[in-house]
A and B are shown apart, each in its own frame.
Chain A
Amino acid sequence: MEAHLLDKKDLFELDEIDKKILNRIQGDFPILENPYDEIGREAGISSDDALERVKSLLRKKVIRKVGPFFDARKMGYRSTLCAVNVPSERLEQAASAINGFVEVTHNYLRQGNPNIWFTVIAESKEAIASILKDISTRTGVGPIHNLPAEKMFKVKVDLKITD
């Protein structure tokens, strides 16, 4: 499917310790001077080994990042999902124009009409509107449907790996 597919072989290499580490650090990376002491202790390995395991999980792209996830809205930022239909011959050009904005964080080609779906996070609604206008002008595609969440029920990629 997407860019970073992993060899089956690597998947099988996830052992019980990896799974313990993953289930712990997905939701609750310890905010301590030496977080890997605690991660290691809970997984029954040393602090150094815990750090090495996390590095290896990143290298294998089982995880794509470790760090904080912010609530954009609480920091005054606004986010939205946008959809636009782009004819196939202009897909690449439109996608690269859209990707060019640092405020665009996700951008996918999807089945159906509209076919391009992307997310924008910016300082204000006005900033988002101006980015969308820019994209329209640069690519000539439109209308771009701006679909900010009216209500958020869940935003958490926390999938238990052992089930």
Chain B
Amino acid sequence: MDRGDIELIRVLQDETIYLEKSPFKKAAESLGWELEEVLERTKRLKEAGVIRRFGAALTPVNAGFTANAMVAWEVERHRAEQAAEVMAGHHRVSHCYIRPAFEGFPYNVYTMIHGNSPEDLNNIISELSKIAKVNSFRPLHSLKEFKKSSPVYFPSKKS
């Protein structure tokens, strides 16, 4: 990544441009670049995986997924990867990570699961438990959202 990429990334984070007819032209104008340069570099960033996805983020609740939970699973170290892969393959699992366990909390595989109803969610959890062969888990239902925001990369003013 060079300096140009960083300048472009700053501008692409302005979500208002995607509500314009020609978002990338807008980006080009504010950078003082040619449109082609913006399109090419953006595609390159996507190919390189720096942009892992370009598109819309659903609000799961509002797209019909009314029951969502983070579920932490306790899996023996030697088969944690295998179990995580199986869970990640489920189409209602949006995120799946191995994280360290800590004192009093032996769970090491984390999943975000999305269901249409509490029953649906419970069914998915049972299904995952079965297919990944993990019996010890803890659903961490959210009680309150304190914050949900997009990260800000390369802020132009240092705070």
Tell me the A residues contacting B by CB distance below 8 Å: 1-6, 10-11, 14, 22, 25-29, 31-36, 47, 51, 54-55, 57-58, 60-72, 74-75, 77, 81, 83, 95-96, 98-99, 102-114, 116-118, 121, 145, 147-161, 163
* A29 and B56 contacting across the interface, CB-CB below 8 Å: yes
* A66 and B51 contacting across the interface, CB-CB below 8 Å: no
Residues of A within 8 A of B114 (CB): 159
Q: Is B133 an interface residue (CB 8 A)?
A: no
Given A29-B56, A75-B9, A159-B94, CB of A35 within 8 Å of CB of B99: no
B-side interface size class: 35 or more
Kindly count the residue-residue contacts between A and B in the assembled complex, taking CB atoms under 8 Å apart: 253
A-B contact pairs, 14 of them (CB 8 A): A6-B59, A11-B62, A31-B43, A51-B21, A67-B150, A71-B50, A74-B50, A103-B151, A107-B145, A108-B146, A110-B141, A112-B138, A155-B95, A159-B60
Residues of A within 8 A of B21 (CB): 34, 36, 47, 51
User: Shortest CB–CB separation between residue B45 and chain A, in angstroms?
Assistant: 8
Q: Tell me the chain B residues, 144-159 only, with Cβ under 8 Å from chain A.
A: 144-155, 159
* A153 and B55 contacting across the interface, CB-CB below 8 Å: no
Given A98-B146, A145-B102, CB of A22 within 8 Å of CB of B151: no
- Apart from A68-B13, A71-B51, A81-B110, list 10 A-B contacts with CB within 8 A: A1-B67, A26-B58, A29-B54, A54-B18, A57-B56, A67-B12, A70-B9, A111-B143, A153-B96, A156-B53
User: Shortest CB–CB separation between residue A116 and chain B, in angstroms?
Assistant: 8
- Residue from A22, A60, A107, A110 having most chain B Cβ neighbours under 10 A: A110
Q: How far is the CA of A62 from the CA of B13 in the complex (A)?
A: 20
Q: Is B32 an interface residue (CB 8 A)?
A: no
Interface of B is mostly: mixed
* B144 and A153 contacting across the interface, CB-CB below 8 Å: no
**Lowest 4 CB-CB distances: which A-B pairs, in order?**
A153-B88, A154-B88, A109-B144, A107-B147
Q: Is B137 an interface residue (CB 8 A)?
A: no
Residues of A within 8 A of B142 (CB): 1-2, 108-110
Q: How far is the CA of A22 from the CA of B63 in the complex (A)?
A: 10
* A72 and B88 contacting across the interface, CB-CB below 8 Å: no
Q: Is B124 an interface residue (CB 8 A)?
A: no
Residues of A within 8 A of B59 (CB): 4, 6, 61-64
Q: How far is the CA of A60 from the CA of B70 in the complex (A)?
A: 25
* B1 and A62 contacting across the interface, CB-CB below 8 Å: no
Q: Tell me the chain B residues, 65-82 only, with Cβ under 8 Å from chain A.
A: 65-68, 70, 81
User: Shortest CB–CB separation between residue B1 and chain A, in angstroms?
Assistant: 7
Q: Is B22 an interface residue (CB 8 A)?
A: yes
